[in-house]
Structure formats: structure tokens, C-alpha cells
Amino acid sequence: MTAVLRPSPRKLAGAALVVAVVAAVAGWVLSAPERLDAQTLAALGPGDAAAGERIFHAGGCSSCHARPGAQGDARLELAGGLELKTPFGVFVAPNISQDEKDGIGSWSAEDLANAMMKGVSPAGDHLYPAFPYASYARMKPSDIGDLHAYMKTLPAVPGRAADNDLSFPFNIRRGIGLWKRLYLSSDPVVALPDGTPDAVLAGRYLVEGPGHCGECHTPRNFAGALDKARWLAGATAAEGPGVVPNITTGEGGIGDWSEEDIAYYLESGFTPDFDSVGGAMVDVQANMARLTPEDREAIAAYLKAVPPRPNGYPPRPKPAE
């Protein structure tokens, strides 16, 4: 009886093949790299290098792309080489200096914008979101035009950084196209009502866009995307031991810091509870110290307006007696 209803193995195999082909074609189409539209590209503008310096520091480019351990002016030599050891494998920050061959000296402003806002290389490949384009996607095109003009003034440094060393399936770049469909958006994370003060809006732009603060301060889901329901609530460090602090006003966070405390911390590295900046934040704070006081005040104003959340990382085990 059942033998009559059961499809033949041949038919089954045929159906499976059809499903696989449809899935493969759909996957291929859905995972295709997408570039910016003409309107966005037109908004890049001519580029103002002086204004771009501020964006360079706000964006923290040196933190990953300077040689590891570089100090002072050497932080403007963007030779790459920093390793990010993550659960997906080791990402190596590439050379983004003006070297034509090993860096991005041949990139146009349009190329830079497609990389930063769409995660697509000039050759049309997906870039890994370890490069925080999921945050940079919220940037104003004109800021990227300015950044491109500023980067043109920085030195060319020869030498390619090592390749990424990722495990399967994360080593398949095409898969990133599907990730982008789910997680890449230029919309703001925190919706702010009409009449929100300009400083808060300016802070939202700096924090959610170029500053890409959420990339470390927000927990990630199984796919490595930021969990926006726990935005800025702190996270287990993606790299190495330890945690990244909760910077909302929720429990465990910075509710007892005033806006002045936050701005002073970003300028000086000193916390109001008599501690100092540490870990990967040291380089970030050095960048923040180079912004204007108004920028730091705007960041502080925004952080105070972010919805409070409890810590996005598990409590520390009690010390053994």
C-alpha cells in the first residue's frame, strides 16, 4: 500500500535537484553585491580634506589600520596588520594607505563610499563586516567625500597585510550578501522624537555612524550581527578575554555619569569613579580627544538619551575563596 504512494527514488532525486537549483539561483541572486545609487554618489561632493580629518578621527580608522602598537604620527601610516581573533576566525586589517598597489591609493571617492556604506570592494566583492560598514552605512555621503580627500593627504605605505584566516563557511564571501540583506541598513538605531535637541541628533550620528561604538559595546547574535534590542548594553569582548562596558544608563551602565563626566572621559581618559580608560578603548579615546568639545558633548547627550538596558554580558563569577 505505502509502496504505491511513495514516489520513486528517481522522482525524489529529481525534485531535490530542482529545489537545490532554485535555492542556489535564489541564493546567488540574493547574495549579489549591491552598490550605491547615483543620487548617493552625486552627494559625495568635491571633498574637503580639512573637514575629512575630523571624520577620520571620529571613524577610528587608525585604531585598526595603523600598524599594531604605532604611536603619534605613525598612526597615520595605514599599513594594516592588526589581527582580530574572533569566533569566525582571524580577520587581518588590510593596508588602506595611499599605496597604489598594496593600499587603496587608486580608489576614487565612489570606491571608498561603496566600501564604507555597502561593504563592496571596487572589484565587486563583498567585504567582511569586521570592517564596520554596517555602522558606516549611516554616514552622510559628503562626510565620506571629505574623508577621501583627507586620506589622499596621508602617506603611501608599501606592503600587503596578511590574508584573513577564516573557517568554513565564513570563508565564502558570497554568503555575506545574505547577511547584508538581513542586517545592513542605513536607518538610525535609536528612534528619536520630533523636537529632539540638535546635540542629541549630532551625537546619534557620531555614535551610530562613523564612531561605530555599537560594534564593540553591543552584544552580537549567532550570525555576528548587533542585537539592537540590547543596543550599547555592553558585551563579552569579541576578541580576547574580558567585557566591553554597558554605556547605557541601565543597571551596570553609566547612569551615574553626568554628560560632563562622559565628555571629560572622552577628552582625558579619566572616569568619574577615579579609574582610567583601558583596553581597546585607549586608542578610541585618543581619537575622541581630537574631536571638538561640541562633538564630545553631543556624544554624551546622545548616550544619555539611549534607552537604558541591563548589562549585555553575563555577571562575573564570584571570586573563589
CB of 18 to other proteins, least distance (A): 53
| Separation between Cα atoms, residue 223 and residue 228, nearest integer Å | 13
DSSP state letter for 92: E
- 175 or 279: whose CB is closer to other proteins? 279
Rounded Cα distance, 150 and 81, in Å:
22
Closest approach, Cβ 157 to other proteins, in A, equals: 23
Amino acid, single-letter form, for residue 38? A
Look-up of cell digits 571629505: 146
Q: Give Cα 206 distance to the centre of its chain.
A: 12
Shorter beta-carbon distance to other proteins: residue 179 or 313 = 313
Cβ closest to other proteins, residue 153 vs residue 268: 268
Q: Which three cell numbers stand for residue 254?
A: 553609566
User: From residue 264, how far is each of 234, 250, 276, 293 by CA, in Å?
Assistant: 20, 20, 11, 9
Answer for the pair 94, 2: CB distance below 8 angstroms, yes or no.
Answer: no
Provide, rounded to whole angstroms, the least separation between the CB of residue 200 and other proteins. Answer: 22
Site residues (vs other proteins, CB under 8 A): 237, 240-245, 252, 260, 264, 268-270, 272-280, 282-283, 285-286, 311, 315-316, 319-320
The nearer residue to other proteins, 138 or 309, going by C-beta atoms, is 309
143, 55 Cβ separation under 8 angstroms:
yes
Please name the amino acid found at residue 307. Answer: P
Of the pair 10, 316, the CB lying nearest other proteins is at 316
Cβ 230 to other proteins shortest distance, Å: 16
Minimum distance, C-beta of residue 216 to other proteins, in the bound complex (Å)? 11
